[in-house]
Each structure stands twice: as structure tokens, then as C-alpha cells.
Structure 1
Amino acid sequence: MPYTLDETVDGAFDDVVARTEAALADEEFGVLCDIDIQAAFAEKLDVEFRQYRILGACNPAFAKQALEEELRLGALLPCNVIVYETDGGNVGVSAVDPGKLLSVVDNPELDAVADDVRERFERVLDELAA
């Protein structure tokens, strides 16, 4: 069962990261954290790994609405968007599927938030694919 929304994107890796951040900003998401997995593995494990970044994306209005419904939901936030080198040498961008993520909470009051966030993530991926 897929748990991400995915797109393969043309361009240099760092350019795709910048375009992803810009597309997220257009949909009112800020990037709260940017984890460079390749650098972390090199530093902490002394191993090589493909280029792989985890962007912790947050739309404050949606986060507030969701936390008012489900206080412990913060354990699942922010929503992660990843940019990574694929096995074929392309650049992939994947966003967590908010519906799948919030299904573990079992609170129907969050369905509208999940739908809105999913629509915005789909527009981000569409923008990157264009």
C-alpha cells in the first residue's frame, strides 16, 4: 500500500531541492528542518550514500487546526517531503500521503485537513514535473 505521493523530476539535485522548497512555499508550507542524509551518514557512519534530503514541511494553519482536534498529533508532524537520487540516477521527490499518515489517528475530524494537505502536495509535485 503506497504511503507517499511520488514524482520523478528533471534537473540537478540541488536545483530540485530549491524548486521543491519554492513550490512548498507557494502552497504555504515552510520547511522547518532540512536533513541531509548523505552528509549525516558520511559523518556519523563513515559510509557513502546517495543524495537524499528530508524536508520537514509545515503549514501553520493546518497544523493548528489538526492539533486542536488531536493534541498528540504533533508526534506525526511535520509532514516529510524527500528529495533523493533514484537508482536510475534521476531525482525523485516524494511527499507523505496525509490520508495514510492520519489514518493511524482514527479521527474523522482530521479528514478534511488530510484532503487539503494532499491536494497541496499534489500541486507541488505537479509543479515540479512541469
Structure 2
Amino acid sequence: MDYGLGVRLDRPFPQAVEAVTAALKEQGFGVLTTIDVRAVLREKLGEELEDYLILGACNPSLAHRALRADPRIGLLLPCNVVVRADGGTTVVEAVDPQTLVTLAGPGGGLAEVADEAARRLGAALDSLRGQ
């Protein structure tokens, strides 16, 4: 099962993170959380990993609509966007909001919210290809 949308960028990790954050903002998403997986694994386990961030992206309008449709959807929010180094490139992947609807079950207007979220996340990732 493919549960993500993604793009590979031919740019260094720090510039990719800046570009991803800006692209998300253009689509109405803010980054609520940033988890530096590399730093956590180094600190807690003494393990090394290439740069790897999990960004918790939220579009307030879409989140509000989703929560009105199903208050339990907060269990699946915010939308995770991963930015990770992969050799000389940077991979950006976002959870496909349709996956969240599959987990939550049909009904209540979530499908429409997921459609719009998928369109906006897809547009953000597509904009990165042209930079």
C-alpha cells in the first residue's frame, strides 16, 4: 500500500527544508512541530543516521473542517511531512490524506477534506520540482 506522496530534490538538505516549509506555507500549511530524528537517535541510542526531519504540517481551515466532521480525527493530525537526506539528494514525502480517511472510515465529510488536503500537499511538492 502506497501511503505517501513524494519528490526527490537535487539540493542540499538545509535548502530543501527551507523550500519545503515555504511551499507548505504557500498552500496554507504551517509547521507545528519539527522532530529531528537524527538528533534523537544520536542522543538516545548513540546511533547515526543521515539528516531526517518529521514536520507536523497543519492547514488550520482543513483541520477545523476535519475535526467538525469527526472529532477523533485529531488522532491522525497533523499531516506528517518527512524531509530526509538520501546520499547526495533530499527526499520529501508527505502522508497521503486519503490514507487517513481509510483509517478513520467513510462518512462525515472527511473524504472532501482529504481530497483538498491531498491537492494542496501535492501542489506543494510539485512546486519543489520546478525550483
**Fold conserved between structures, TM > 0.5:** yes
Q: Distance between the aligned counterparts of 2:88 and 2:80, measured in 1?
A: 22
Q: Which runs of 5+ in 2 are unaligned?
A: none
Identity of aligned residues (%): 43
The code of the aligned residue for 2:50 comes to R
Q: Distance between the aligned counterparts of 2:88 and 2:44, measured in 1?
A: 24
Q: Give the deviation of 1:44 after TM superposition.
A: 0.8
| 1:123 matched to 2:114 | no
Q: How does 1:68-83 map to 2 (within 5 A)?
A: 68-83=68-83
| 1:32 matched to 2:32 | yes
Q: Distance between the aligned counterparts of 1:83 and 1:129, measured in 2?
A: 14
Q: Which runs of 5+ in 1 are unaligned?
A: none
| Partner of residue 2, structure 1 | 2
Q: SS of 1:7's equivalent?
A: strand
Indicate conservation of the 8 Å contact 2:3/2:95, yes or no: yes
Q: SS of 2:104's equivalent?
A: coil
Q: Distance between the aligned counterparts of 1:34 and 1:10, measured in 2?
A: 22
TM-score (ref. length: structure 1): 0.96
Q: Distance between the aligned counterparts of 1:18 and 1:36, measured in 2?
A: 15
Deviating 4+ runs (over 3 angstroms): none
TM-score (ref. length: structure 2): 0.95
The code of the aligned residue for 2:99 comes to K
Aligned residues: 129
Q: SS of 1:83's equivalent?
A: strand
